[in-house]
Structures are given as C-alpha cells and as structure tokens.
Amino acid sequence: MTIKTYDLIAKDFTNAGSISSDIKKIAKSYDLPQDMIRRIAIACYEAEINMIIHSVGGNIHLTIDDDWVSIDFRDKGPGIDDLELAMTPGWTTASTDAQSMGFGAGMGLPNIKKNVDTFELLSSPKGTLLRIGFKRKGEHV
Amino acid sequence: MTVLELTQLTHWKMINNGDLELPVTGVYTGDLLSYVMGNGSSGQAWITMQTHQNVIAICSLKEFSLLILVDNNALDAEALESAVENDINVLVSPLPAFETVKKLVQLGF
C-alpha cells in the first residue's frame, strides 16, 4: 500500500510533469498492466497541468491499495465556473501565454475522463476536487 | 530502425543523447501537448516546434524514443538540462515540420 501527498505550486511550468513522473514510477513499481500505467500517466499529467495553469495551488494525493489506484487533485481555487463547458472538448480558458506553449488545447478534462475508471469533479470558488480511480482488478469501464 | 541509425541517416544535429539503441517504432507530430499526450505512443519519435521544459516531461512520461525539433530550434536552457537529466534523445532538424516528416517517410516510416 502506498499513500503519498505532493504539494503543487501554481504557474510552476518549470516542474510541470514532475509529480506525474513520480506517480508513474510508483505505479510501475507495483507491476500494474502496461495499459493502466499509460492511462495513469496521461490522466495525471493533464490534471497536474490543469492545476498549474488554472489554480492558485494545492496538493495531489495518491493512494494505491490492493483494489484501486486513487488520485485526488485538490486546489484552493478559483474554481471552475461551468463544469459542463469545461468538459467540452476544445473549450479552454487558458491564457494566451499558456496556449503559445502548447497548453490549453481544451482536451485536458476530456482526456482524463477517457482514461480513468472513475471520475468525480467538484468545484466551488474555494477550490476544485478532481478524484480519479483506476481499478486494479476487472475491466477498464 | 534505432535512434542511432536514424541520426546517421538524417545527419540532423544531436543535442542530447540517452539510449541510442532504442528502437523507433513510429512518428508522431504535434505541438498541442494534450493531443500529444492523448495520441502519441511509447517508442515513437515526436516531432514538434515546442522547446520548453515541459516537452521533456512529456517525452519521459510517454517514453518516446526520440524528440525531433524542427526549423533549427534549440531547447531552452532548462529544457536541455532536463533532457540531460532524463536521458532523452534530442535531434534538431534544419527543415520545417513538413519536410522533416517527408524525410522520415523517405526513410521508411
């Protein structure tokens, strides 16, 4: 069993992807199926980048037990105005600067949802919680 | 074809080398990072004009065999440092993206 929490600093593009890399390393050490490791890497990267671009900072909490790999992405705001729009492929509120770096294609949340087994997204101006899960036994839903 | 063979056949400039014996299983081209994350596959060479550090994070996460920058673009200093740390193969093509792709097609990709 693994429980690990990472602090995420807003707008820290320099280290973007480092938490996802660490989570991927841990997932590999569990000898999970290759496809699941691939899905975890994609979903974590997108969620980490989302927090870096859009939030004021927060933390990422990883839990791996016998049945599930669960990852919570919790930030301290400013929240997502319209969850339905945010889930629409191509929709983005990323800054021009972020877009010129190739971020903000509006594919982040759709990419995450496509790659996980469970997906919960709660948001208010005080913060957003994205909780994703990968089932270690059984089929990818 | 391995990374080493590809570098020899293209004569493009290698600015960092990791494992040159890695097989190159295909090619993906893209500058929008979410599309690259969503659609690229491990073992591929990735062609892009993005040069910042996050490109290296993607190479590492996706396990691309090789990063190819186009139009003689160089990596940012932090990105190059990160490429060295993560053993990422990085090649610089003097050609624009389309001609870079054409060259790889000529080589059999």
Which CATH number characterizes residue A42's domain? 3.30.565.10
Whether the CA torsion A29, A31, A32, A37 is positive or negative: it is positive
The partner residues of A75 in beta bridges, in order of sequence, read: A58
Q: What percent of chain A has pLDDT over 70?
A: 97
Q: Give the mean pLDDT of chain A.
A: 94
Which residue of B lies nearest to A17 if distances are taken between CA atoms? B57
Question: Does residue A106 surpass a pLDDT of 60?
Answer: yes
For residue A127, being part of any structural domain is answered with yes
Cα–Cα distance, A1 to A64 (Å, whole number)? 5
Q: Give the mean pLDDT of chain B.
A: 96
Supply the pLDDT for residue A138.
60
> Which residue carries 């060479």 as its tokens?
B45
- pTM (2 d.p.): 0.90
Any CB–CB contact under 8 A between A86 and chain B?
no
Any CB–CB contact under 8 A between A92 and chain B?
no
Supply the pLDDT for residue A14.
78
Q: How many CB pairs under 8 A join A and B?
A: 62
For residue A62, being part of any structural domain is answered with yes
Residue numbers in A near B85 (CB within 8 A): none
- B33-49 pLDDT per residue, tens: 999 999 999 999 999 99
Any CB–CB contact under 8 A between A102 and chain B?
yes
Supply the pLDDT for residue A13.
82
Residue-number span of the structural domain to which A86 is assigned:
2-135
For residue A141, being part of any structural domain is answered with no
Question: Does residue A71 surpass a pLDDT of 70?
Answer: yes
- Name the CA dihedral angle for A57, A127, A114, A103, rounded to a multiple of 10 degrees: -40
Q: Please name the residue ranges forming H helices in chain A.
A: 18-29, 34-54, 83-86, 96-100, 108-115
Predicted-assembly ipTM surpassing the 0.90 threshold: no
For residue A58, being part of any structural domain is answered with yes
Any CB–CB contact under 8 A between A24 and chain B?
yes
Question: Does residue A141 surpass a pLDDT of 60?
Answer: no
Question: Considering only CA atoms, which of A126, A132, A136 is closest in space to residue A58?
Answer: A126
Given pLDDT bands bounded at 50, 70 and 90, which one contains residue B101? very high
CATH number at residue B28: 3.40.1390.20
Question: Does residue A31 surpass a pLDDT of 90?
Answer: no
Residue A31, CB-side half-sphere exposure with 13 Å CA sphere: 1
Which residue of A lies nearest to B57 if distances are taken between CA atoms? A17
Q: Which of A48, A49, A50, A115 to mutate to test the interface with B (most CBs of B within 10 A)?
A: A49
Residue in A13, A24, A105 closest to B35 by CB: A105
Interchain CB distance below 8 Å, B34 and A14: no
- B51-88 pLDDT per residue, tens: 999 999 999 999 999 999 999 999 999 999 999 999 99
Question: Does residue A139 surpass a pLDDT of 80?
Answer: no
Cα–Cα distance, A77 to A111 (Å, whole number)? 22
- Interface residues from chain B to A (CB-CB < 8 Å): 31-38, 42, 48, 50, 52-54, 57-58, 60-62, 78
For residue A140, being part of any structural domain is answered with no
Task: Please state the domain count of chain B.
Answer: 1
For residue A40, being part of any structural domain is answered with yes
Residue-number span of the structural domain to which B19 is assigned:
3-106
